[in-house]
Structure 1
């Protein structure tokens, strides 16, 4: 029997994962990752002998940190028929996502006070297959509730500058946006902004100039696209920058679709404005020219824009003007996605698919898994201050993903684990498949009992 007080006694770790393609903070290389309890304890050479109760050699599979998705609409409580914690977090785990942060809408009640936050946390109890945090909401009239929400551990506050789509989560006007920025600056919190200027949104598509004459856009999607032009985003983002500049607030632009705003964001960053921005896989991989007419699975707000815009978003991601890539997983019952683009629910369901969707396009561009790790794991974790998430390093949570970068497969919506089989990627051929996911050192089994935890913001 080993003497527990013998300092020469060898350490036996709970798990060692070996991969010739381990994505570490300093790049990709062969390595062995040893896990003790729920944390990464040692990172050694690929062939280094490390005693462990279990050892798995992943060979040429990529070993990367679990994804951190800070933009997920779970919709529970109140609209659980849209999604729910059990289905959303199962889908997340199957897609290599080990941490999500849930949006304050479209649940009922929305997370705009501490009572609603308590209801949200109660609904999530024992239903989480991945670790889950919560955003608070900034809506007209809840100014006095924001400090209490902050103290209760929300990761920041989300607001809209245009109607959100649900009446119980109304937008902030310009004065309300500036007050919200002042509040989060005083708290050293974070304000997330769905930035579209209602002055540039249209109920019906405006006529456009074609060969010198006025004409209406052709096709259902083109008509919808014309109702939400890039100017709606650029105008709102300029106001967000002005509010952040005036108050010193940390602000984050959600789901950037209009590449025209990148110059304003870059200039604000150079000036020291505390602004970050995200985009989503659908804006980086889909294009308006290729949206099938009438296929409302492709509807989201802001909308998917044209091919040239998509290329400009990639340039913004590569040069650091865009900081992170997250899903904006916003599902709804299938009946709400029927009809035409004017009336269908605006949301893309893709939580399980973000990694292979992004890798398929990134691989074509000559990028590496380390690039996706920076945008989809480390960056989102840093945004919300989750220091033990999103990276493979000693002391971090052992949230890990084995990813096969060569596996080609075809998406079948019916096989996905989110509640409703509706996604614009149905039938798409992707490259890259999640093989295994570990949450805090244990493999995630979506057929077993859930182990996910409810997270609270830690003081910076």
Structure 2
């Protein structure tokens, strides 16, 4: 079957339907899942393009609701063309682009329209967009909701880029008043500057020095602020990239009190731990930081208990020079980890050892993330009426993360390779050399084959997803 062709049906001995894995045929019509049949009830019709994948697992495509694409303005870091190709190669059929690191940031209606123009004709998977809350832009929030942003993100601490300043309490109250009754959601980078009892010191090339500069208390105090706001205004709030297990009790208490609060963690917090980060290995730097192995196990326990709602990549690439690989200085290096393509195997490799099932993968990487950004009526589930977004993969097969199997921008221009007439750079990623379990064989987007065994559809078939206004918008 040729890449880009319309798939009428997908047959497998292992189709994930609800919590069960069983032989079935997924019938696709007009880009939607039409029905799911047992093999005995299926007969091939005239002109029916059936993709038989044997015993590969067929499940809903992944919805990665936390991706920094950086276009326009910083396309040397990453652009829609390479980012969405990397997504397709990893079984990700929908990404939601973060509002910062692009220039201009998605903080006004005009900037959002510019973002849409820049992304047009460049997306190999479907793409939705977050807006941003910064000081003084509260009058832009409702117009952006009407225009289709999935929600908004803000920082309680310096974001790392000057054009996306962090908010004060005054800004947050102004934003919350605008969001009340809209059904929209406010995402928080939940770290707050706290008074350090001792001056920062130590070797900046040692990871422990960087870790000590971003203690757990920064997340605890930020999340305390978020829970109070969430309870006061009853506006949906979401904690992005939770790295510390210490605020979990605060989150649970707020939820029990009626706060509409959700929380995510990331693949790097679940897969990497501080004890194993070598000196000068700035490819491991991110904010909040990767913490210790005991903390990591607490995150896994919280995930299993339902205290953490979803897992995302927080894919945040940059150019090699910004990682300060030559000096190994964690204090000066850009904080961000590239992992968009490897989310599924990263999660599965660790999760299966802890008793998670394939149905948990769909819940945490597809269904809950789709729900967060208002796409749960069309994305993230395998059932009639949903978009025919499918990932076809082998959860038993192992592979080593290497230069050859990476997509996306950057590790070094010396390692540039040509893939499909596009210069692709291997990511500066901490996962190089790691053996993972779970190989993506093919990705189907709205019934079209967009990726198969290392090759891509010759043209980008992704759409912009403008989120319809929620039901409880009476106050708008």
TM-score (norm 1): 0.92
RMSD over aligned CA atoms reads 1.7
Q: Is the 8 A contact 1:67 1:377 kept in 2?
A: yes
Task: Report what 1:185 is aligned to.
Answer: 180
Where 1:87 maps in the other structure, the secondary structure is helix
Residue aligned with 2:283, SS: helix
Query: What displacement does 1:95 show?
Result: 0.3
Of 32, 36, 41, 1:39 maps to: 32
Deviations 1:311-332 (A, max 9, x none): 0000111111100101000000
Per the alignment, residue 433 of structure 1 pairs with: 439
Structure 1 SS opposite 2:226: helix
- 2:10 corresponds, among 6, 17, 41, to 17
Aligned partner of 2:100 among 99, 105, 116: 105
1:399 paired residue among 389, 395, 399: 389
Equivalent-residue separation in structure 1 for 2:247 and 2:195 (angstroms): 15
CA contact (8 A) 2:60 2:391 kept: yes
Provide the residue aligned with 2:358 in structure 1. 369
Q: Structure 1 residues 200, 411: closer, same or farther in 2, change over 3 A?
A: farther
Match of 1:345 in 2: 334
Look up the match of 2:218: 232
SS at match of 2:219: helix
Structure 1 CA distance for aligned equivalents of residues 224 and 302 of structure 2: 17
Q: Which moved more, 1:56-65 or 1:124-133?
A: 56-65
Partner of 2:131 in structure 1?
A: 136
Structure 1: stretches of 5+ with no match in the other structure: 1-12, 207-215
Alignment of 1:163-178 (within 5 A): 163-178=158-173
> Which ranges in structure 2 are unaligned for 5 or more consecutive residues?
1-5, 411-425, 471-476
Aligned to 1:326: 312
Give the aligned partner of residue 315 of structure 1.
Answer: 301
User: Separation in 2 of the partners of 1:124 and 1:410?
Assistant: 32
Shift of 1:366: 2.6
CA distance in 2, matches of 1:32, 1:296: 46
Structure 2 SS opposite 1:260:
coil
Kept in 2, the 8 Å contact 1:217–1:226? The answer is no
- What residue number does 1:210 align with? none
* Separation of aligned partners in 2, 1:32 and 1:304: 42
Partner of 1:8: none
The answer to whether 1:95 aligns with 2:90 is yes
Change (3 A) 1:375 1:30: same
Match of 1:459 in 2: 469
Give the equivalent residue in structure 2 for 1:119. Answer: 114
SS in 2 for 1:398: coil
- Mapped to 1, the partners of 2:368 and 2:191 lie a distance apart of 24
Paired residues of 1:285 and 1:358 also in contact (CA < 8 A)? yes
The structure 2 residue matched to 1:293, chosen from 279, 284, 297, is: 279
Give distance in 1, aligned partners of 2:13 and 2:367.
21
Instruction: Specify the alignment match of 2:423 in structure 1.
Output: none
After TM superposition, list the pairs within 5 Å mapping 1:253-264 onto structure 2: 253-264=239-250
User: In structure 2, do the counterparts of structure 1 residues 380 and 201 end up closer, same or farther at CA, with 3 Å as the change threshold?
Assistant: farther
SS in 1 for 2:15: strand
Partner of 1:416: 406
SS at match of 2:77: coil
Residues 20 and 218 of structure 1: CA distance in aligned 2, closer, same or farther (over 3 Å): same
Q: Which runs of 4+ in 1 moved over 4 A?
A: 200-204, 216-219
Q: Which residue of 1 aligns with 2:413?
A: none
Q: Distance in 1 between matches of 2:395 and 2:198?
A: 43
Q: CA deviation at 1:28?
A: 2.4
CA distance in 1, matches of 2:73, 2:17: 40
